[in-house]
Structure formats: C-alpha cells, structure tokens
Amino acid sequence: MIKLVVLLTLLLVVLAKKGDGCNCDLEIIIDTSCSIPAAAHSKVLRFVQELLQANFKKVGVIAYDKTVRVISDPISNDGLISNILDALPKTFWCTKDSKPGCCNTRTNEALQTALNIVEDLESKRKNTCKVIILFTDGKTFPREFKDDTKSVAKKIHQLHPDWTVITVGVGHKIDVDELKAIASGDSNDNVILKPNFNSIRGVDICPDLPTPSPDNDPPCEPDDDDGEDDDPTPQK
C-alpha cells in the first residue's frame, strides 16, 4: 500500500511538471542576425513580451549572431522581469549596415552559453523546472559549426534530461533537422515552425496566455538578400 501511494505521488509530480512548463525558470535565446528585417524586430520582441506575461519564475535573455551577448541574467532578475525588454541595448539587432562585424549565426555558442547559465541557476534552484527556448530564422552559420551545435544540444539532453528545450523556427531558410536535434524529445512536440514573423505568438508556448489580437500586417519574412553567406570575415 505504501509503495502504491509513493508511485501515485511520483506520477502526480511528473504530470504536474509536464503541464506546467510555463511555471518554470526560462532562458530565451534570440537570433538577432542580419536576415531578420527591421520590420520583424517589433514582432520578435512582442513574442518575448507575451512570454513574459506567463508564470515563468526567473527569465534570462541571450542574443546571438556572430557573437553571443547575455542581455539579462536570470539569477539577478527577481522583480525585474517586466523591465527586461526596456533594458535592451541599441545594438541588440545585427543589420546589413553593421556588417561585417556581426553577421553569421553562431547557434553553437549561444546554446553553450545557455547551458552554462542554466546549470548555474539550477545549482541555486534545484526544485524549479527549467525551460530553454531558442528562436531563429535560419541555421547555424558558418555551416562548419553545425556539428558543434548538435553536440552541445546532445550534451544538454544527456546531462539534463529533465530540462525542456523548445525551438521556434521562422521562414523557409531554417534547418528543420537542426531544430529537431536541439529540441527535447523524439517527437516534434517541442519544434514550432512558423511561415513568417507575424505568426510567432506567446500562446504557441503557453496556451493559457490570453488570445492575442490578430496581426493583420503584410507578411513579414526573413530577408533572403541578407548576404550572410557571403560574409568573408574570419571567424574567431
């Protein structure tokens, strides 16, 4: 009888965690590379703002293109979650005009940075579930680093099988195979694919969020003429 009670208790804990992913600590990784047009910037930030309206306990933000920047550290965020977007630096986005200093998409380094941050956070908050959301409109570039991206993702899954990693891909230039390798689980449940930036909304991650107003703007898609693949700048 005691064993049955213990098993039922464990089952209830597991079910609660599965249905309560938006009540965890969250690390958001945002692709800010050249292929994201200026018209999409507000839509990406709207997506993040909607996520911040959920019940995530601590929230950290990482931005990445050729370099990785920790915009907000979740360990120091108590009471400041609503101010994260207000604190974004003017250099948050990489644009064509700023080439060749920031183009490319170093997903491998962004994932490694997230791994380090969330591991540190978990050491201080062991009883809080962890979620990583990676948003991108493309793929790891230069492509020679694709295997590095998959290697870091594999390490996350092996070392922290209780973490949930969700990937959000926008447009037709994304590497779906790469997004599946990054996301948790063997199914596609944690891979969200969207045709344009208009369609990325917080309810895709947290269904309990209020239904957002429709975005009736003309479809905003990744910039195919970003020139990222032609960037000759030596890699670090």
DSSP, residue by residue, 66-97: SSEEEEE-GGG-TTTGGGTGGG--TT-S--GG
Q: How far apart are CA 162 and CA 129, in angstroms?
A: 8
Q: How far apart are CA 31 and CA 66, in angstroms?
A: 10
Do 64 and 109 meet the contact criterion of CB atoms below 8 Å apart?
yes
State mean pLDDT over 71-98: 74
Please tell me the pTM assigned to this model: 0.86
Residues 6+ apart with CB under 8 A from 71: 61, 62, 63, 84, 87, 88, 89, 92
* Greater pLDDT, 73 or 64: 64
DSSP annotation of 173 reads S
- Beta-bridge mates of residue 69: 63
Does residue 86 surpass a pLDDT of 50? yes
Q: How far apart are CA 64 and CA 108, in angstroms?
A: 10
Does residue 37 surpass a pLDDT of 90? yes
**Averaged pLDDT of the chain:** 85
Residue 83, pLDDT score = 72
Residue 9, pLDDT score = 33
Per-residue confidence band for 88, with pLDDT thresholds at 50, 70 and 90 = confident
